[in-house]
Amino acid sequence: MRTGQLLRTQAFRIVLVYVLLFALSVAALLAFTYWNTRRTLDAQTDQIIEAEITGLAEQYTHLGVRGLVEAVRARSLHGGQALYLVSDTQHHYITGNLNAWPQLSEAQGSQFVEFDYERPVDGKLETRRARGRMFALSGDFILLVAQDVHERYLTTRMFTTTLPWTVGLILLLGLAGGALMSRNMLRRLDAINRTSGEIIKGDLTRRVPLAGSGDEFDLLAENLNRMLDRIERLMKGLREVTDSVAHDLRTPLNRLRNRLEESVARLHASGAQASEIERAIAETDQLIGTFNALLLIAETDAGTTRAAMTALDLGEVAADVVELYEPLAEERRVKLVLLPPGPVTVEGNRSLIAQALANLVDNAIKYTPEGGAVRIRIAAADTGVDLSVADSGPGIPAEDRTRVVERFVRLEASRNSPGTGLGLSLVAAVAHFHNAELVLQDSDVPGAPSGLMAVLRFPKPVSRVATLKNAAE
Amino acid sequence: MRILVVEDDLEAQRYLVQGLKESGHVVDEAADGENGLSLALSRPYDVAIIDRMLPRKDGLKVVAEMREHGSATPVLFLSALSEVDDRVKGLKAGGDDYLTKPYAFVELLARVDALMRRRSPVGVKTRLDVGDLELDLLTRGAKRSGTDIELQPREFRLLEYLMRHAGQVVTRTMLLESVWEYHFDPQTNVIDVHISRLRAKIDKGFEAPLLHTVRGAGYMIRAH
């Protein structure tokens, strides 16, 4: 299982969206808790500071600077969380347990601000966080009252440092879980897809394996299997019908032919009656030919035939058919060309493909006027193999092209030439049987644009072509 | 030659037996698989003609059991089933040739003759002769009355097959199956054109033709 395939699965996408939403909500929750905790703690601190400022301001109003300094000095001695600083407008220290003005910008005016200050702890200076407020006293003095909030600061800072880690961890675990889940799902689906592939290839006896857990995949597999049982039964029925039609028509046809042969043998070979019966035999043979073609079309089209598929060289089959028809073409003064010779491997049944190609070449020679040319070409690409037969005959009008493939359809122009009207239907049926396609189009042979080009488009070739191409590079 | 016919369609069986007898063969017949098998194992036959679908024992089974018991009698399957795959199945089961009903009696007779000929090999031949026509299988050269004849590879194989069956009728289907190794129905009779090409090479300019057309059947190469 490739990573790309994993990322494209529906399961992984669902998990991805879910994990993202989950991480977002966790982040939001943490952020809200942080904000709320801080707000509550700050409000408490601010209340204390507010009360202190009100108290000290009263001292100043009643007892003046001296009273304020006394009060600040007295309160500073208590230690604890409270911090004080009294200075003149030039920020010169007058009294307080803060010995210097913290670096505060003027803009912050009389709002609550946070700042760092230093104080000795166990003989060492420690930078700590404080929260306080400045208060300008009438008479050129400034009072700063603050509270040490270092503990609160450390606690809230934990939130901000753990948040990205938490979210990251959630994402990581979520994605891993998602990958695991989708891999599991993919494995189950792969089993179904593999089985379907084999069934499409023709092995109708295959069934989707069950995991035995009774989950929705097992349910799906069970339903698929039930459907396959039914298809297999139908195919078997169809096959039996074809077989019995074949048998029940061939047996009397055989007797008919036997009797005709017997009668002609009893008669004078040169007599008029003998030639009448010989004509009847010829008609019977034509009937048999049509019947055989129909049966072959029915079987290959429905895929009920058990014809063996092997890896075969399309180039070789084409060369054989060209060789077989070459004298006929020469007799009709039609040039028969095969381009390019060389091996191209496809999966198929040799005689069916030979039959299809023979039908196409036969048609092409039949409809090409003297001096014309028929070109057979094999074009292999990564997407598939095209086996085409192009002629320089009158072609088939575009509007008739789908119709001529149907059984017994013969165009007005060819009504009087020999043929059953099954040739192209058989080619189309053989194409279906090989998962190939029969395409009728204008000839691309230079100088013969009106001609017909019949293309048998086979699906992707077996490795060989790729190997040859690599070797050439 | 002794031939066994196992065919359950009695009408067809009668015709077959009569025709073979008229052609100078000794014929035994059976109408079901069990009887057919016991006959086939009871005495040596030169060829067995066995219907593919038989009551009491299927034709494929009859042949498989014949082979199990060491019988090497060449078997020609007759089948009224469709043939794309059954043909392969029949040949795999131990059959030597396969003919679909309805068949022409001449086709059947030609195939029976070919099976008998195959049965009696005359050692490994390096040269085939018919009258003054000779074919060297080693150098792949052909000569008539000492004059070299230029042959394409396929023409050589065609002539070789005809000469190996000299004096026997060879049908068009047999030629397509043996020389081209394909089994399908070419819509136009392309084999005829190949034969007339070959004929132009070996018979043209000679008084006595060697390659004869047998009306309603096929071709035959013979000296007289």
Q: Contacts of residue B180 in chain A, CB cutoff 8 Å?
A: 320, 324
Q: Does B92 touch chain A (CB under 8 A)?
A: no
Q: Does B178 touch chain A (CB under 8 A)?
A: no
What's the whole-number mean pLDDT along residues A283-289?
A: 87
Sheet of B97-100, strands arranged across: B26-30, B2-6, B47-51, B75-79, B97-100
Integer Cα distance of A424 and A403 in angstroms? 10
- List the single best residue of B187, B193, B199 to mutate versus A (max A Cβ within 10 A): B187
B119, B141, B167 - which closes a domain: B119
* All domains in chain A, ordered by first residue: 7-157 (3.30.450.20), 216-302 (1.10.287), 310-472 (3.30.565.10)
Integer Cα distance of A453 and B102 in angstroms? 35
Contacts of residue B132, defined as CB under 8 A and 6 or more positions apart, other chains included, come to B144, B145
B11 → chain A, closest CA residue: A255
Together in a domain, B134 and B166? yes
Integer Cα distance of B2 and A90 in angstroms? 139
**Which pLDDT score is estimated for A107?**
52
Taking alpha carbons only, the member of A382, A387, A365, A374 closest to residue A437 is A387
- List the single best residue of B60, B100, B101 to mutate versus A (max A Cβ within 10 A): B101
> Residue B192 sits in a domain of what CATH number?
1.10.10.10
Together in a domain, B211 and B158? yes
Output B193 or A473, whichever has higher pLDDT: B193
pLDDT at A60 over 60: yes
Tokens, residue A327: 């004298």
Per the prediction, chain A carries an average pLDDT of: 82
Weakest-pLDDT range from A44-48, A352-356, B79-83: B79-83
Taking alpha carbons only, the member of B78, B87, B67, B75 closest to residue B16 is B78
Q: Does B216 touch chain A (CB under 8 A)?
A: yes
Together in a domain, B40 and B115? yes
Q: Are A129 and A149 in contact (CB under 8 A)?
A: yes
**Which pLDDT score is estimated for A202?**
67
Integer Cα distance of A157 and A104 in angstroms? 21
Together in a domain, B56 and B151? no
Q: How many CB atoms neighbour CB B166 within 10 A?
A: 18
Task: Calculate how close chain B gets to A327, using CA atoms only, in Å.
Answer: 6
pLDDT at B35 over 90: yes
Q: What is the dihedral of CA B160, B163, B164, B165, to 10 degrees?
A: 130
A350 → chain B, closest CA residue: B182
Q: Contacts of residue A250 in chain B, CB cutoff 8 Å?
A: 80, 100-102
Taking alpha carbons only, the member of A90, A292, A431, A160 closest to residue B187 is A292
Output A420 or A257, whichever has higher pLDDT: A257
Are B80 and A423 an interchain contact pair (Cβ–Cβ within 8 Å)? no
Weakest-pLDDT range from A117-126, A358-367, B9-18: A117-126
- List the single best residue of A264, A286, A351, A360 to mutate versus B (max B Cβ within 10 A): A351
What's the whole-number mean pLDDT along residues A149-162?
A: 85
Weakest-pLDDT range from A135-139, A194-198, B55-59, B71-75: A135-139
Together in a domain, B114 and B153? no
Are A355 and B185 an interchain contact pair (Cβ–Cβ within 8 Å)? yes
**Which pLDDT score is estimated for A417?**
56
pTM: 0.68
Q: Are B56 and B32 in contact (CB under 8 A)?
A: yes
Is the torsion defined by CA of B80, B83, B89, B94 positive or negative? positive
**Which pLDDT score is estimated for A109?**
61
B102 → chain A, closest CA residue: A254
> Residue B20 sits in a domain of what CATH number?
3.40.50.2300
**Which pLDDT score is estimated for B122?**
61
Q: Contacts of residue A297 in chain B, CB cutoff 8 Å?
A: none
Q: Contacts of residue A417 in chain B, CB cutoff 8 Å?
A: none
Band (A81; pLDDT cuts 50, 70, 90): confident
CA B6 distance to own-chain centroid: 18
Together in a domain, B157 and B194? yes
- List the single best residue of B82, B155, B175, B199 to mutate versus A (max A Cβ within 10 A): B82
**Which pLDDT score is estimated for A466?**
37
B86, B119, B152 - which closes a domain: B119
The partner residue sitting opposite B182, judged by closest CB among A258, A300, A320, is A320
The partner residue sitting opposite B182, judged by closest CB among A259, A292, A354, is A354
**Which pLDDT score is estimated for A106?**
55
- Span B68-86, pLDDT tens digits: 998 889 999 998 876 666 7
Together in a domain, B46 and B64? yes
pLDDT at A411 over 80: no
Are B82 and A246 an interchain contact pair (Cβ–Cβ within 8 Å)? yes
Q: Contacts of residue A327 in chain B, CB cutoff 8 Å?
A: 190, 193-194, 196-197
Together in a domain, B15 and B37? yes
**Which pLDDT score is estimated for B219?**
93
Q: Does B213 touch chain A (CB under 8 A)?
A: no
The partner residue sitting opposite A305, judged by closest CB among B80, B84, B180, is B84
Domains: count for chain B: 2
Q: Contacts of residue B183 in chain A, CB cutoff 8 Å?
A: 351
What's the whole-number mean pLDDT along residues A121-144?
A: 82
Are B187 and A359 an interchain contact pair (Cβ–Cβ within 8 Å)? yes
Together in a domain, B42 and B151? no
**Beta strands at B75-79 and B141-144: parallel, antiparallel or unpaired:** unpaired
Together in a domain, B146 and B114? no
Together in a domain, B102 and B154? no
Band (A469; pLDDT cuts 50, 70, 90): very low
Are A250 and B102 an interchain contact pair (Cβ–Cβ within 8 Å)? yes
Are B9 and A251 an interchain contact pair (Cβ–Cβ within 8 Å)? yes
Residue A95 CA: distances (Å) to CA of A14, A53, A66, A312, B175: 65, 15, 11, 104, 126
B100 → chain A, closest CA residue: A250
**Which pLDDT score is estimated for B83?**
66
Integer Cα distance of B21 and B2 in angstroms? 10
The partner residue sitting opposite A254, judged by closest CB among B12, B82, B190, is B12
Band (A203; pLDDT cuts 50, 70, 90): confident
B73, B91, B119 - which closes a domain: B119
Q: Does B91 touch chain A (CB under 8 A)?
A: no
Are A355 and B180 an interchain contact pair (Cβ–Cβ within 8 Å)? no
Residue A34 CA: distances (Å) to CA of A28, A29, A159, A168, A462: 10, 9, 6, 18, 64
**Which pLDDT score is estimated for A79?**
67
Residue A305 half-sphere exposure toward CB, CA atoms < 13 A: 27
- Span B147-200, pLDDT tens digits: 899 999 999 999 999 998 988 899 999 999 889 988 888 877 899 999 999 999
Are A250 and B100 an interchain contact pair (Cβ–Cβ within 8 Å)? yes
Q: How many CB atoms neighbour CB A161 within 10 A?
A: 8
- List the single best residue of A238, A249, A254, A275 to mutate versus B (max B Cβ within 10 A): A254
Together in a domain, B110 and B135? no
Q: Are A32 and A180 in contact (CB under 8 A)?
A: no
**Which pLDDT score is estimated for B123?**
64
**Which pLDDT score is estimated for A416?**
57
**Which pLDDT score is estimated for B120?**
60
Establish whether this prediction's ipTM goes over 0.95.
no
Are B104 and A331 an interchain contact pair (Cβ–Cβ within 8 Å)? no
Quote the domain boundaries for residue B12. 2-119
Task: Calculate how close chain A gets to B216, using CA atoms only, in Å.
Answer: 9
Q: Does B12 touch chain A (CB under 8 A)?
A: yes
How would you write chain A as a 3-class SS string? CCHHHHHHCHHHHHHHHHHHHHHHHHHHHHHHHHHHHHHHHHHHHHHHHHHHHHHHHHHHHHHHHHHHHHHHHHHHHCCCCEEEEEEECCCCEEECCCCCCCCCCHHHCCCEEEEEEEEEECCEEEEEEEEEEEEEECCCEEEEEEEECHHHHHHHHHHHHHHHHHHHHHHHHHHHHHHHHHHHHHHHHHHHHHHHHHHHCCCCCCCCCCCCCCCHHHHHHHHHHHHHHHHHHHHHHHHHHHHHHHHHHHHHHHHHHHHHHHHHHHCCCCCHHHHHHHHHHHHHHHHHHHHHHHHHHHHHHHCCCCCCCEEEEHHHHHHHHHHHHHHHHHHCCCEEEEECCCCCEEEECHHHHHHHHHHHHHHHHHHCCCCCEEEEEEEECCCCEEEEEEECCCCCCHHHCCCCCCCCCCCHHHCCCCCCCCHHHHHHHHHHHCCCEEEEEECCCCCCCCCEEEEEEECCCCCHHHHHHHHHC
Q: Are A281 and A259 in contact (CB under 8 A)?
A: no
Weakest-pLDDT range from A237-251, A401-415, B90-104, B156-170: A401-415
**Which pLDDT score is estimated for A375?**
93
Are B101 and A254 an interchain contact pair (Cβ–Cβ within 8 Å)? yes
Is the torsion defined by CA of A399, A404, A408, A412 positive or negative? positive
Are A299 and B184 an interchain contact pair (Cβ–Cβ within 8 Å)? no
Please report the DSSP string for chain B in residue order: -EEEEE-S-HHHHHHHHHHHHHTT-EEEEESSHHHHHHHHHHS--SEEEEESS-SSS-HHHHHHHHHHTT----EEEEE-S--TTHHHHHHHTT-SEEEESS--HHHHHHHHHHHHHHHS--S--SEEEETTEEEETTTTEEEETTEEE---HHHHHHHHHHHHTTTS-EEHHHHHHHHS---S--SS-HHHHHHHHHHHHHTTT-SS--EEEETTTEEEE---
